[in-house]
Amino acid sequence: MSTATLSASTELRRLDWPFLIAAVLGTAVLVTLVALDGHPASAALVILGFALGVAFLKAEFSFTAAWRRFLANGEAGGLLAALLLIAVAALVIVPVAALVPGFGGAIAPIGPSLVIGAFVFGIGMQLANGCGSGTLYTAGGGSGRMLIALALFIAGSVIGSLHLPAFLALGGVDPILASAYLGPWGGLAVTLASIAAVALAVALIARARGANFKPRPLIVIGAIAIGGLSIGVFLAGHHPWSVTFGFTVWGAKLAALAGFDFSGAAFWQWPGPKRALAESILSDTSSLTDLGMILGAMAAAAATKPFARTVWPQARSLIAAAIGGLLMGWGARIGFGCNIGAFVGGVASGSLHGWIWFVAALGGCMIGIRLRPLFGLSRE
Amino acid sequence: MRVVYALVLIAGLGAVIADHLTSPSSARAVSPEDFAGACAPCGAPCPSAQKK
Amino acid sequence: MTVRSALRSLTFVLASLAALTFAAAARADSVTPLVSAEWLKEHLKDPDVFVLDVRSAIDGGGVEAYQKGHIPGAIHSDYDKAGWRVTRGGVPFMLPTLAELEKLIGELGIDEDTHVVVVPAGVHFTDFGSAARTYWTLKVAGLSRVSILDGGYAAWAAGQNAIETGPSKPSPKIFTATLNKALLAEGADVQKIEQSGGATLIDSRPASFFVGKQKAPAAQGYGHIPGAVNVDSATFYDSKSNRLKPQAELVSIAAALPGGPAVTYCNTGHWAATDWFVLSEILGRSDVRLYYGSMAEWTSDASRPLASARTKWDDLKKTLGFGS
Specify the CATH number for the domain of residue C237.
Answer: 3.40.250.10
Contacts for B36 with CB less than 8 Å, ≥ 6 apart: none
Model confidence at C19: pLDDT above 90 = no
Task: Determine whether the interchain pair C222/B26 forms a contact, defined as Cβ–Cβ distance below 8 Å.
Answer: yes
Alpha carbon distances (Å) from C136 to A97, B45, C85: 55, 51, 12
Q: What average pLDDT does this structure show over A308-321?
A: 94
Q: Which residues does chain A have within 8 Å of residue B5's beta carbon, measured at their own beta carbons? A: 19, 142, 144, 147, 307-308
How many Cβ pairs within 8 Å bridge chains A and C?
Answer: 11
pLDDT tens by residue, A27-80: 999 999 999 998 999 999 999 999 999 999 999 999 999 999 999 999 999 999
Model confidence at A260: pLDDT above 90 = yes
Q: What average pLDDT does this structure show over C269-292?
A: 96
**Which residues 110-139 on chain A approach chain B with CB closer than 8 angstroms?**
111
A187-201, A272-286, C18-32, C112-126, range with the lowest pLDDT? C18-32
In a domain, A250, yes or no: yes
Active site residues of C: 266
- The 10 Å CB-count burial string (b at 16+, else e) for A182-202 is bebeebbebbbebbeebbeeb
In a domain, A9, yes or no: no
In a domain, A1, yes or no: no
Q: What average pLDDT does this structure show over A76-104?
A: 97
Report phi then psi at C55, rounded to 5.
Answer: -60, 140
Contacts for C222 with CB less than 8 Å, ≥ 6 apart: B25, B26, C212, C213, C214, C215, C306, C308, C310
pLDDT at A2: 46
pLDDT at A120: 98
How many Cβ pairs within 8 Å bridge chains A and B?
Answer: 162
B35-39, C50-54, C105-109, range with the lowest pLDDT? B35-39
What sign for the dihedral angle of Cα C247, C248, C253, C258? positive
Model confidence at A133: pLDDT above 90 = yes
In a domain, A85, yes or no: yes
In a domain, C21, yes or no: no
In a domain, C17, yes or no: no
Q: Say yes or no: A50 contacts chain B, CB-CB below 8 A.
A: no
- Kindly state whether residues C195 and C283 are assigned to the same domain: yes
Task: Determine whether the interchain pair A33/C316 forms a contact, defined as Cβ–Cβ distance below 8 Å.
Answer: yes
Model confidence at C28: pLDDT above 60 = no
Residue C56, class by beta-carbon neighbours within 10 Å (0-12 exposed, 13-18 middle, 19+ buried)? Answer: buried
Q: Which of C147, C164, C179 is the last residue in one of the domains?
A: C179
pLDDT tens by residue, A47-58: 999 999 999 999
- Kindly state whether residues C98 and C75 are assigned to the same domain: yes
Model confidence at A81: pLDDT above 70 = yes
| Chain A partners (3+ C-beta pairs within 8 A) | B, C
* Closest residue on chain C to A278 (Cα): C311
Q: Which of C148, C179, C210 is the last residue in one of the domains?
A: C179
For chain C, what is the domain count?
A: 2
pLDDT tier, B31 (very low <50, low <70, confident <90, very high otherwise):
very low
A1-15, A68-82, A310-324, C118-132, range with the lowest pLDDT? A1-15
Nearest-Cα distance to chain B for A100, in Å, is 15
- Kindly state whether residues C51 and C168 are assigned to the same domain: yes
Amino acid at the residue C238: D
Amino acid at the residue A37: D
- Kindly state whether residues C133 and C234 are assigned to the same domain: no
pLDDT at C2: 78
Model confidence at A1: pLDDT above 50 = no
In a domain, C10, yes or no: no
pLDDT tier, A296 (very low <50, low <70, confident <90, very high otherwise):
very high
- Kindly state whether residues C98 and C58 are assigned to the same domain: yes
Interface probe for A, chosen from C312, C317, C320 (most Cβ of A below 10 Å), is: C312
In a domain, A86, yes or no: yes
> How many percent of chain B have pLDDT more than 90?
42
Torsion of CA C315, C316, C318, C321, to 10 degrees: 170
Task: Determine whether the interchain pair A283/B28 forms a contact, defined as Cβ–Cβ distance below 8 Å.
Answer: yes
Model confidence at C183: pLDDT above 60 = yes
- Give this prediction's pTM: 0.82
- Kindly state whether residues C72 and C167 are assigned to the same domain: yes
Q: Say yes or no: B21 contacts chain C, CB-CB below 8 A.
A: yes
Characterise C108 by phi-psi region: left (phi > 0), alpha (psi -120 to 50), beta (else): alpha
pLDDT tens by residue, C158-180: 988 999 999 999 999 999 999 99
- Candidate from A168, A173, A253 with C-beta closest to B44: A168
Instruction: Answer with the residue of higher pLDDT: B10 or C59.
Output: B10
pLDDT at C6: 79
Nearest-Cα distance to chain B for A285, in Å, is 5
Model confidence at C303: pLDDT above 50 = yes
Q: Say yes or no: A291 contacts chain B, CB-CB below 8 A.
A: yes
Task: Determine whether the interchain pair A109/B47 forms a contact, defined as Cβ–Cβ distance below 8 Å.
Answer: yes
Q: Which residues does chain A have within 8 Å of residue B13's beta carbon, measured at their own beta carbons? A: 26, 29
- DSSP three-state, residue A81: helix
- Kindly state whether residues C196 and C312 are assigned to the same domain: yes
In a domain, C24, yes or no: no
Q: Which domain holds residue C272?
A: 182-320
Model confidence at B27: pLDDT above 70 = no
For chain A, what is the domain count?
A: 1
- Kindly state whether residues C212 and C84 are assigned to the same domain: no
Model confidence at C10: pLDDT above 90 = no
| Complex confidence, ipTM | 0.91
Q: Other CB atoms closer than 10 Å to residue C31's CB: what's the count?
A: 15
Q: Which residues does chain B have within 8 Å of residue C311's beta carbon, measured at their own beta carbons? A: 21-25
Q: What average pLDDT does this structure show over C124-143?
A: 95
Count how many residues are written for chain B: 52
Model confidence at C30: pLDDT above 70 = no
- Kindly state whether residues C109 and C193 are assigned to the same domain: no
pLDDT at C60: 87
Q: Which of C179, C201, C234 is the last residue in one of the domains?
A: C179
- Residues of chain C whose beta carbon is less than 8 angstroms from a beta carbon of chain B are 212, 221-222, 308, 310-316
pLDDT at B33: 44
In a domain, C20, yes or no: no
- Kindly state whether residues C244 and C170 are assigned to the same domain: no
In a domain, C165, yes or no: yes
In a domain, A126, yes or no: yes
Q: Other CB atoms closer than 10 Å to residue A314's CB: what's the count?
A: 12
- Kindly state whether residues C200 and C151 are assigned to the same domain: no
pLDDT at C20: 66
pLDDT at C292: 94
Q: What average pLDDT does this structure show over A133-141?
A: 97
Q: Which domain holds residue A120?
A: 15-375
- Kindly state whether residues C157 and C239 are assigned to the same domain: no
In a domain, C224, yes or no: yes
pLDDT at C1: 61
> How many percent of chain C have pLDDT more than 90?
83
Q: Taking all residues of chain C, what is their mean pLDDT, rounded to a whole number?
A: 91
Query: Alpha-carbon distance A245 to A224, whole Å?
Result: 24
In a domain, C139, yes or no: yes
In a domain, A120, yes or no: yes
